[in-house]
Amino acid sequence: MTNKVLSEFLLHIGDSQLILSHRLAEWCGHAPELELDIALANIGLDLLGQARTALSLAGSIEGLGRDEDRLAYFRTEREYRNLLLCEQPNGDFAQTIVRQWLMDHYHALLFAALSNSNNAELSAFAIKSLKEVKYHQRFSTAWMERLSLGTQEAHDKVQHGLNQLWRFTEELFALTNDEKQLVEAGIIPDLTILPAKWLELIQSELTRFELQLPQEGAYRSGAKQGLHTEHLGYVLAELQYLQRSYPEMVW
């Protein structure tokens, strides 16, 4: 039972990184500046590497013979466990930066906590990922500051992006009843103590950026139950097209 729950937990992480990576890849050739084009692509590649590790571990632990490619390309929308925040459209550049900034702060706390896992593979994965996340966090924070404290138009677009995405943040550190077994076994920490710290960091930086915390409202959740927004299906249609058209193709 523990292996099945841990595999599902790793799918949640791996799927989130994979979908967010794909969203950032959509900026290739379309970013406002060449430097940003390269930066977003590099962050996307880091996330893709994290996704590969997490999905490989998940497949190995579940013991059903599914490797990272089979998990990525041959599961349906309802079988994906990624955070709803990751699948939201890029919108304009400001909204993409807001989404990345929210996720980077989440990743920083998540991987710092998972680095203390008594599972050696999970701990090693978290420690390596945390090094990459620190760069991502510097990048998104610098652009949040530059945009929000720049022109009025840029400030308004950042605020709009924050208002659009905030309703997807409630599920960031949620644990299922089954995952609480992993907490008791010391495999993962109790992530439910992290939202307060995450929110404190977010509120502090929003004050510095002269932005308003969106009012609490109709939050959306359902990642770990496979309940997604309408956007994920379109992402998977593009992501999985080649493998589904030419199954078992090798390069």
pLDDT of residue 179: 96
Query: Cα separation of 60 and 58, whole Å?
Result: 5
Give 212's pLDDT tier (boundaries 50, 70, 90): very high
Q: Over 80: is that where the pLDDT of 109 sits?
A: yes
Lowest pLDDT segment from 58-67, 122-131, 210-219:
210-219
Would you say 55 and 10 are in contact if contact means Cβ atoms under 8 Å apart? yes
Phi and psi at residue 16, to the nearest 5°: -60, -45
- Return the percentage of the chain with pLDDT > 70, whole number: 98
Query: Cα separation of 150 and 147, whole Å?
Result: 5
pLDDT of residue 67: 95
Q: Would you say domain 2-245 falls under CATH 1.10.20.10?
A: no
Q: How many CB atoms lie within 10 A of CB 165?
A: 20
pLDDT of residue 1: 66
Please indicate, yes or no, whether the overall pTM of this predicted structure exceeds 0.75: yes
DSSP state string for the chain? -HHHHHHHHHHHHHHHHHHHHHHHHTTTTTSSSHHHHHHHHHHHHHHHHHHHHHHHHHHHHHTSS--HHHHHHS--GGG----HHHHS---SHHHHHHHHHHHHHHHHHHHHHHTT-SSHHHHHHHHHHHHHHHHHHHHHHHHHHHHHTS-HHHHHHHHHHHHHHGGG-TTTT---TTHHHHHHTTSS--GGGHHHHHHHHHHHHHHHTT-PPPPP------GGGT---THHHHHHHHHSHHHHHSTT---
Mean local confidence (pLDDT), 156-183: 96
Give 219's pLDDT tier (boundaries 50, 70, 90): confident
Would you say 145 and 209 are in contact if contact means Cβ atoms under 8 Å apart? yes
pLDDT digits (tens, 9 = 90+) for 59-104: 999 999 999 999 999 999 999 999 999 999 999 999 999 999 999 9
Sequence-distant (6+) residues with CB within 8 A of 196 are none
Give 249's pLDDT tier (boundaries 50, 70, 90): confident
pLDDT of residue 217: 67
Phi and psi at residue 205, to the nearest 5°: -75, -35
